[in-house]
Chain A
Amino acid sequence: MGAVFALVTVLAFVIVVYVGVGVAGLKSLFGIVVPYAAFLVFLIGMVYRMIDWAKVPVPFRIVTTCGQQKSLRWIKRSRLESPYTNFEVVLRMLLEVFAFRSLFRNLKAELKGPNLVYGSYKWLWLGAIAFHYAFFTILLRHLRFFTYPVPESIQIIDQIDSFFHIGLPHLYMTDVVILAALTFLFLRRLADPRLRYISLASDYLPLFMIYGLVISGVLMRHFFKVDVTQVKEFTMGLVHFKPKAPDVGVIFYIHLFFISALMAYFPFSKLVHMVGVFFSPTRNLANNSRAVRHEPAPWWKKPKFKTYCEWQEEFKEQLIESGQPIDEDCYKKK
């Protein structure tokens, strides 16, 4: 089963680092080579994917309209659900990207006796929003390791995130949220027979990698504490291309390996949805194809068809018999 494979893979990651760093002492490999390589793969991979999509033409304006079109002046149109101008398209995209607009529409169909009913079902939206925003905030917080002096905005995020002052160091709310959201997203795949049916190993793997990433991070912060000064020296070294592998516990290397693995995996997996959504022609085009002429794709050829004159020749007798006009122009041109 996919989930088992994903779990085994992630455990194997842990073992590899444990053996590699803890036993064989390959600190430079896991601390410097792997992260740099992963980052390169991520960058080049993502740029490659984007170019790969961008170079394919969009031959037709296949907007999925989810609201009233612009037509008669007195009919109220929906600017966000059926954008007519490019500005409105941008607004629609912003809603999709920042509020998961389409996911928010989600319904759950149920068959009650002979009747179908469709209830609102926002759990997936909530889980996805919680997960993505927590992940995003955690990434932002991490900038404190990569900047000197740390910008105030990052410090503020940090303070808000640890607002409740639970434990020492303070527990981050986003850590709790992301673990809860990941658990929901995972259990959902297992519990719902239909989702279990469609889920692949490659659907469980990113979830587990992020689990590994978050859990190793939490463990490092609260249980197997590492020397933060050394870590910061190391991360600043990475930024300035003068890296020196830190002399800290294996747990840090495990954490670092998870983020490296995730970065390297990103461009080749479904995680590319992050940029792919911007390329989706059903969402990123304006619904104005009757008002504005859009150039066809370079490969598009005007169709060949039976012209009127050819058709008239073929049906001439019937046309005359039934008293339909014969177009004399067809003969003039010859």
Chain B
Amino acid sequence: MAKLPKPDELIKSIDWTPPEKDWMDDVPPEIKPGRFCYPAKKNILEEIGFPNPRDWSPLDDDWKLPPNFREIIIEGMKDRLSKYRSFKVFMDICVRCGACADKCHYFLGSGDPKNMPVLRAELIRSIYKGELTWQGKLFGKLAGARKLTEDIIKEWFYYYYQCSECRRCSVFCPYGIDTCEVTMMGRELLHLVGCNINWILEPVRNCFKIGNHIGIPPHTIKEILEYLCWDIEEVTGLKLEVPINKKGAEILFVTPSGDYFAEPGIYTMMGYILLFHYLDLDWTMSTYASEGGNFGLFTSHEAMAKINAKIYHEAERLKVKFIIGGECGHMWRVKHQYMDTATGPAPKNLETPKSPITGTVFEHAKSTKMIHVCEFTADLIAHGKLELDPSRNDNYVVTFHDSCNPSRGMGFFEEPRYILKHVCNNFYDMPENTIREKTFCCGSGSGLNTDEFMEMRMRGGLPRANAVQYVRDKHNVNMLACICAIDRAALPTLMNYWVPDVQVCGVHELLANALVLPHEKTGERPRTLNMRQEPLKPEEEENA
């Protein structure tokens, strides 16, 4: 694996000035270790029936493309141009005004000009023009047109796996051109000739075959949840059990599998379990639909739908009334923007979500019948249904990372903040231009949170880390809350690199800390530990 430069070296290496050489001729790109992900293994492609399975490396000269790769790609392009208006319109209307250029975190952190969203899109646009429009065929480079060659496939692979599909560029574009859409199309085209990455496709395989990204079989899921319940018992004294595959439960709960097996996600998972117990909710998890996340979104629209469809299928089988989804970014892009159209309509047994505790009817989810756990919880707090002691989080000075997908694909800003402001006493937002719809990616989104991509992750995560550093210096922030499982996996590494004294947590972890359980109120067993089993207050450490 490539050596990671030190933070100060990395900062010094950033230069936003583009090279002299014309970008159209600057192919193939110099493929640098630390900036690409390992290709999908042969057996994985075979198992999921994707084209051109083989052993290869992006560092090889010969990528072993199919001999007719040009026709395959051009046909694939025509096909998608006739299916997705977004793709077609975005290919046609960019004026290269450059407003998006310095909005991409990968550009800001790497200075590589082909990471400017406009050029990232131009990598395909130039082929669209050169192969499919008469203007491009006639005027060539003058019209920004190129011909498709093997070098261009290499360029695409390099740069479409250096885009985290975060859509920040789309916010600033006068026409809303969304380079994420272009990247999605780029990746779909690359699949056709077998250029893809293992970190995405292995989870996709696992999801298709076993039920979740990590490939945890059902009995192990049950074991893991039992472990988590024991940990909850350590902290609260309560003996809990997670209902599994329970027919006739009112609510099906789905959440990314990342949260049941690694820190700090597990603390958030424990938070959900504790909250649902507190409310005496009639809920169930499923070991079949055991994945809320969806790496299919980073693969193709078809793969995304195939993974998502299991959730409705399971909701139908279990005859639940509605679905609650856990904290996750890309998962919620799917659940909010794709679920209904791609895999709906929702099964007939589902009803418009109605909180059994407050009676609130979630009208805004009346078609998909699926609500975000933060919507559910914020509603509980607003109705005074939770007894909370925010001082239990006084060890923490908290800030909130808006994950890209809920922000720009959903408009999900106030719900988590509302919860945070009720469960902790010290909350400070990062600077305005780095949060909400202008939030910066963790640097590892869209299936790029792999170790071999570390240098690019640290570069792309720089704008986010830098904003955290700002509030750390100003307000002593030491806890970065987020509502995304990929964030919880990726941000600790990022913080460790750029702002080492800041930890990462989910919103429901902090909620669980603050939640005053009935037996705690009577003084029977006061809470002394937080979900991480650390003393709630530093002085108690000394007393002990």
Contact = CB atoms under 8 A, between A and B. Distances in A.
Interface of A: 2, 5, 49, 52-53, 56-72, 74-78, 81-82, 84, 96, 100, 102-103, 105-109, 111, 114-116, 118, 124, 128, 192-195, 197-203, 268-270, 272-273, 276-277, 279-283, 287-297, 299-300, 302-308, 311-312, 315, 318-319, 321-325, 327, 329
Nearest to A111: B14
Contact of A324 (B17, B101, B143, B245): B245
Interface in B463-492: 463, 466-467, 469-470
Contacts of A312: 288
Nearest to B83: A299
A78 B102 CA distance: 26
A97 to B, nearest CB: 10
Contact of A203 (B17, B81, B96, B306): B96
B313 interface: yes
Contacts of A203: 95-96
A53 B87 CA distance: 10
Most buried by A among B82, B89, B222: B89
Contact of A64 (B171, B313, B362, B366): B171
Given A102-B172, A268-B135, A306-B208, A282 B178 contact: yes
B174 A306 contact: no
B171 A58 contact: no
Nearest to A66: B437
B314 A56 contact: no
Interface string B288-326: 100000000000011001111110011001000000000
Contact of A105 (B96, B171, B360): B171
Contacts of A288: 364
A84 B336 CA distance: 13
B242 to A, nearest CB: 11
Nearest to B316: A308
B288 A65 contact: no
A75 B306 contact: no
A34 B95 CA distance: 27
Contacts of B411: 65-69, 77-78, 81-82, 287
Nearest to A69: B411
A304 B98 contact: no
Contact of B341 (A60, A68, A192, A276): A60
B287 interface: yes
The B contact surface, by secondary structure, is helix
The A contact surface, by secondary structure, is loop
Interface in B80-132: 81-86, 88-90, 92-99, 101-103, 108, 113, 116, 118-119, 122
A194 B172 contact: no
A308 B375 contact: no
B102 A273 contact: no
Contacts of A291: 363-367
B27 interface: no
B532 interface: no
Contacts of B74: none
B335 to A, nearest CB: 8
Contacts of B309: 302-303, 305
B314 A303 contact: no
Contacts of B420: none
A59 B11 contact: no
